[in-house]
């Protein structure tokens, strides 16, 4: 992979983090009128339709699954789409968003460690230092500089649910990397989103989606469209492409930019201030990403 292609891969991963940061804003607006399970289902239902059309047009017969692909695709849908959203929503009912985000910010650590163990991705001292710096920056942003407040109260069911989010996303990333040895990124994402949407339809129906959908506002549908198109179609496809080109460890590190982009978008859209802790955290995340990629091979 040449330098231009590598830089474009990094750019798409950064934009993915930006889009995923925006899902917090869109989600915060849409849940004022739409139930969380209904919003999750509609997000992935919209994405499923778009992904299916896009994938068939681009991939053609490459969309056909072989027997060896069926189980991994089901695992992807049940972990990265269904389980992640269920754990996330249950966790947020029990603990504050700051503590939940801090736990989810550990995704890259576990992706890196599991990638090193299962896929033999090299975990050098420089790369490890970069990971730790990036994680530290994300924690500072999430905690707004008051780290001690995040650890008060111990670990309860809410924290365990959020660790379920981490486990779900790590599994999604690693199984996806293994699957893409024989199945291209776009079919992988498309089928996993279809599986996840079907699974989410059950709790969405139980939440009363069919009775309430007629009352959704234009703003609700715009937010759902953002979640489906940018937060899922572009986000998932580009993240998978990043895993394929630079490895799960380095692609996963860009998740640390999600809380930073969320805070920046909140400043412009919701009027929330940009604090010194955000600036410090942004510097640490940027330096961490640089260190992690500086001495790494271009392919995992």
- Give the model confidence (pLDDT) of 203-227 as tens digits: 999 999 999 999 999 999 999 999 9
**Boundaries of domain holding 90:** 3-294
Angular region, 146: left φ>0, alpha ψ -120 to 50, beta rest: beta
pLDDT at residue number 299 = 37
Mean pLDDT, rounded, for 268-278: 78
Is 35 within 8 Å of 209 (Cβ atoms)? yes
In a domain, 299, yes or no: no
Q: Which of 56-60, 189-193, 281-285 has the lowest mean pLDDT?
A: 281-285
Structure-token match 């930006």, residue found: 18
Assess if residue 205 is contained within a domain: yes
Is pTM beyond 0.75 here?
yes
Print burial letters for 96-132: b (CB count within 10 Å at least 16), e (below 16): eebbbbbbbbbbbbbbbbbbbeeeebeeeeebbebbe
Does the structure show a pLDDT above 70 at 67?
yes
Burial environment of residue 150 by CB neighbours within 10 A (0 to 12, 13 to 18, 19 or more): middle
Lowest mean per-residue pLDDT among 39-43, 92-96, 232-236, 266-270: 92-96
Distance CA 278, CA 259 (A): 9
- Any residues with CB less than 8 A from the CB of 138 and at least 6 apart, and which? 102, 105, 256, 259, 260, 281, 285
* The pLDDT value given to residue 194: 95
Mean pLDDT of 46-71: 89
Integer Cα distance of 250 and 296 in angstroms: 9
pLDDT at 98 (0 to 100):
57
Question: Per residue in 128-150, pLDDT tens?
Answer: 888 888 788 877 876 767 777 66
Question: pLDDT at position 298, please?
Answer: 38
d(CA 202, CA 37): 9
pLDDT beyond 90 at 71? yes
Q: Between residues 209 and 295, which one has the greater pLDDT?
A: 209
Query: Does any domain span residue 191?
Result: yes
User: What is residue 216's predicted lDDT score, i.e. its pLDDT?
Assistant: 95
In angstroms, the CA 183 to CA 290 distance is 30
Taking only the tens place, the pLDDT of each residue in 6-54 is 999 999 999 999 998 888 788 878 877 888 889 889 999 999 999 999 8
Helices (H), the chain: 3-30, 36-59, 67-76, 84-92, 97-104, 107-118, 125-143, 157-179, 185-206, 209-212, 218-228, 235-246, 248-253, 257-270, 276-294
Cα angle at 170 between 182 and 123, to 5 degrees?
85
Tell me if 219 is assigned to some domain. Answer: yes
Q: What is the pLDDT of residue 19?
A: 93
Domain count, the chain: 1
Q: Is residue 300 part of a domain?
A: no
Higher per-residue confidence, 299 vs 244:
244
Residue 284 structure tokens? 């640490």
3-state secondary structure 29-96: HHCCCCCHHHHHHHHHHHHHHHHHHHHHHHHHHHHCCCHHHHHHHHHHHHHHHHHHHHHHHHHHCCCC
Provide mean pLDDT across the span 279-293: 78
């Amino acid at each position: 992979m040449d330098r231009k292609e590598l830089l474009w891969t990094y750019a798409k991963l950064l934009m993915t983090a930006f889009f995923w940061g925006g899902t917090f804003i869109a989600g915060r607006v849409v849940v004022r009128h739409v139930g969380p399970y209904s919003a999750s289902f509609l997000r992935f239902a919209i994405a499923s339709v778009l992904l299916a059309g896009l994938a068939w047009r681009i991939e053609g017969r490459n969309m056909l699954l072989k027997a060896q692909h069926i189980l991994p695709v089901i695992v992807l849908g049940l972990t990265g789409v269904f389980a992640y959203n269920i754990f996330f929503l249950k966790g947020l009912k029990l603990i504050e968003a700051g503590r939940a985000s801090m736990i989810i910010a550990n995704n890259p650590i576990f992706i890196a460690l599991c990638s090193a163990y299962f896929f033999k991705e090299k975990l050098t001292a420089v790369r490890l230092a970069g990971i730790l710096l990036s994680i530290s920056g994300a924690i500072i942003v999430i905690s707004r500089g008051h780290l001690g407040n995040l650890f008060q109260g111990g670990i309860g069911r809410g924290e365990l649910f959020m660790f379920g989010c981490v486990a779900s996303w790590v599994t999604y990333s690693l199984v996806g990397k293994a699957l893409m040895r024989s199945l291209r990124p776009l079919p992988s994402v498309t089928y996993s989103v279809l599986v996840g949407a079907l699974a989410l339809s059950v709790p969405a129906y139980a939440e009363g989606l069919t009775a309430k959908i007629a009352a959704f506002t234009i703003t609700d549908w715009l937010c759902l469209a953002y979640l489906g198109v940018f937060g899922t179609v572009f986000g998932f496809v580009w993240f998978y492409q990043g895993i394929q080109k630079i490895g799960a460890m380095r692609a996963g590190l860009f998740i640390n930019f999600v809380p930073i982009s969320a805070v920046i978008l909140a400043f412009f859209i919701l009027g929330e201030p940009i604090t010194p802790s955000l600036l410090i955290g942004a510097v640490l995340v940027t330096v961490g990403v640089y260190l992690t990629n500086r001495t790494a091979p271009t392919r995992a």
